[in-house]
Structures are given as structure tokens and as C-alpha cells.
Amino acid sequence: MVSVKPNCWSEHGELEAVLVCPPSIADVPTLKIAEDVQWSAPVQHEKAMENFLELQSVFLDAGINVLDYSKELSQEEQSLSENLLNRFFVRDLACVFGNTILPGHPSISMRQPEYVQAHRVFKSWFGTSFIPQEKVGIQALENGDVLVLNKDAVFINAGLRTSFESIEIIKQHIFQAGFSEVAIISLPRRGDTLHLDMNCNVANEDLVVAKAFMRHFPVRVMSEKGERYEMTSVFLQRHGFEVYWLEEYNSVPDINYFNLDPETILLSKQAHKQMLKNHPKLARKKIIEVEVTELEKAGGGIRCMTLPLRRK
């Protein structure tokens, strides 16, 4: 069992430990193959690995504990793992709710093996802090659809990859972990709205960045006392978040960023940095630009590639 005890109550607290995984050793050599595996462009392994190492170095330079679950796999498991194209998208595998880790469950079969492998490692590492899939019983829940807003509220999208039924199952575990509300939004089921974190993200302790169309969506707010409906902005504002509505954006690099600590955001070099800086609450933020262009061709960004295990 590793020495890391899970502890995450927000998306913006100072990061102490994070899970990552290197990209596959396989190239995706042609546009036809890329489209068939639902990527946007061909990818070269060497460039993808350079991107990964640059991202990892940011964490190591900051003194953050970096865990790679693939290093714990057997030789036989490794031979499979290193050929799994999407294995570096570790965010979907699980989510830390307070001191509890709940598993994800893939909605597409090609990602099933990495979930099985990672969850086996998590059971070994985290003991009773990790509640395994067989005890939770979800069928489709990818944690790119989950935002842990603060110690009270969790925001989840029931969309293309996450089902209402799975959220209904995990909500009681989230309440038991110490949160008081779970809000469900149901975004359009399209590639550009694949996960919640391609549409909105926490940028400050009191600020959420979101695509402008989300202001028209209601959310179903559930607590142990019952449930009701609110508009997205009302729910977020009630929990202390102003919303910075974006009219123009590039979904992955602009919104799928990662908070290193309350003062620092990791941002893709492809992102429109000034767009974030234009908001007064973000004007003085430290922004670390990371070259992840090759990895982003797989359809996800920096947040997708990182699973926070501990934040202050």
C-alpha cells in the first residue's frame, strides 16, 4: 500500500499527489485510423511521450508526489497496457471525494482493460479508502464528467459517457464521504461535449469558467433530504461561484486546464491564455504553459491526463 492517503475537497486546492500514466507505445499513423479510434489526427508515440514527460516534470519540479499505476502491473499486464491507446486519460478511472475514492466505469469497451488494471492497483494501494466496482455497481461513469466544487457540492454530467442510473448509485457514497449536494446536468451528447470538463472547469475558489450555452440548462440538485431543480448559474452561485461565460472557445485546450494550486493553472500551449487573463479574478494567476499538442489529438486535455489524489 502506498503512503498517499486520498484527500480532495475541491478542484483548486494545492496539489500534493497526482496519478498519471504514460501514453501507449503504439503510433496512430493515419487520419483514417485516428478517426476510427475517435481521435482527431494521427499521433506519433515519440512526440506523445515528450508531451507526457514535460507535463510530468512540472509536477516533479513542484515537489508533488507523482504516481504511475502502470509501474505496478505484472509483465503480462504491461504488455497489454502499453498498447492501450487511451490509458493516459487517467481522470476517468476514479475520483477522490474527500477521503474516499470511487471507481469509474467506461462506456466504451476499448477502455475496459485499463479500468480493470488500474482498479486492481488502487485496491492494493488505498485499501478501504477505495470502494471497488463490484461494491458500487455502476455501468457507465467516466470521471471527466465530475467536478468536486467544494466541501458541500459535486457537479456531474449525465451525457454521452455517464448515465443517470450510475449517478443515482454513487450519490449515496458521495453523501457518506461528507458532501451535502450532488447536482446533475445533462449536456448534449456530442463529441465536443463529451465530458463535463470539456464544457466547464473551476478556475478559482470562487470562479467557474463555462461555455455560454450552459446558462440555459437546468440542473437536478439532490441531497439526503430530497431533490429540486435549479438553473446552472443559480446552483453555482449558491455555492459561492461566479460564472465566467465563454462565447468563443476551443473546447479541449481552453477549458480542460488543471489547477496546480490556488494561484497556478497548467494550460495547454494551444489555449487562448489571454481569454482567461481577461477575467479580473484570473488576471494575476500564474499560468504554466505545457506542450501537450500531440496528446490532445486523442480528444482530451491536461485535466483528462491527471487524477488528483491529495489537495490541501
This prediction has a pTM of 0.96
Q: How far apart are CA 292 and CA 169, in angstroms?
A: 35
Interval 255-299: pLDDT, tens: 999 999 999 999 999 999 999 999 999 999 999 999 999 999 999
Mean pLDDT rounded to a whole number for the chain? 97
- Cell readout for 108 is 466504451
How confident is the model over 26-33, as a mean pLDDT? 98
Is it the case that residue 249 has pLDDT exceeding 80? yes
Q: How far apart are CA 149 and CA 171, in angstroms?
A: 15
Q: How far apart are CA 125 and CA 103, in angstroms?
A: 14
* 105, 139 Cβ separation under 8 angstroms: yes
How confident is the model over 33-54, as a mean pLDDT? 97
Query: What pLDDT band is residue 22 in, cutting at 50, 70 and 90?
Result: very high
* 22, 47 Cβ separation under 8 angstroms: no
* 66, 90 Cβ separation under 8 angstroms: no
Spatial neighbors of 172 by CB under 8 A, at least 6 apart, are none
Place of cell 494551444: 270
Interval 63-82: pLDDT, tens: 999 999 999 999 999 999 99
% the chain with pLDDT above 70: 100
| Strand ranges, E, within 65-213 | 65-68, 94-97, 100-103, 146-148, 153-157, 181-185, 200-204, 207-211
Q: What is the pLDDT of residue 1?
A: 59
What are residue 261's DSSP bridge partners?
A: 264
How confident is the model over 19-35, as a mean pLDDT? 98
| Strand ranges, E, within the chain | 15-20, 65-68, 94-97, 100-103, 146-148, 153-157, 181-185, 200-204, 207-211, 218-223, 226-231, 242-246, 258-261, 264-268, 286-290, 307-311
Interval 131-140: pLDDT, tens: 999 999 999 9
Place of cell 456530442: 190
- Cell readout for 42 is 494521427
Is it the case that residue 25 has pLDDT exceeding 90? yes
Burial class (CB in 10 A: 0-12, 13-18, 19+), 219: buried
Q: Where are the domains of the chain?
A: 15-305
Are β-strands 94-97 and 100-103 bridged in parallel, bridged antiparallel, or unpaired? Answer: antiparallel
Interval 120-157: pLDDT, tens: 999 999 999 999 999 999 999 999 999 999 999 999 99
Interval 103-126: pLDDT, tens: 999 999 999 999 999 999 999 999
Q: What is the pLDDT of residue 3?
A: 79
Q: What is the pLDDT of residue 191?
A: 86
Interval 179-228: pLDDT, tens: 999 999 999 999 889 999 999 999 999 999 999 999 999 999 999 999 99
Are β-strands 264-268 and 286-290 bridged in parallel, bridged antiparallel, or unpaired? Answer: parallel
CB atoms within 10 A of CB 92: 27
CA 269 from centroid of its chain's CA atoms = 19
Q: Which fold has domain 15-305?
A: L-arginine/glycine Amidinotransferase; Chain A (3.75.10)
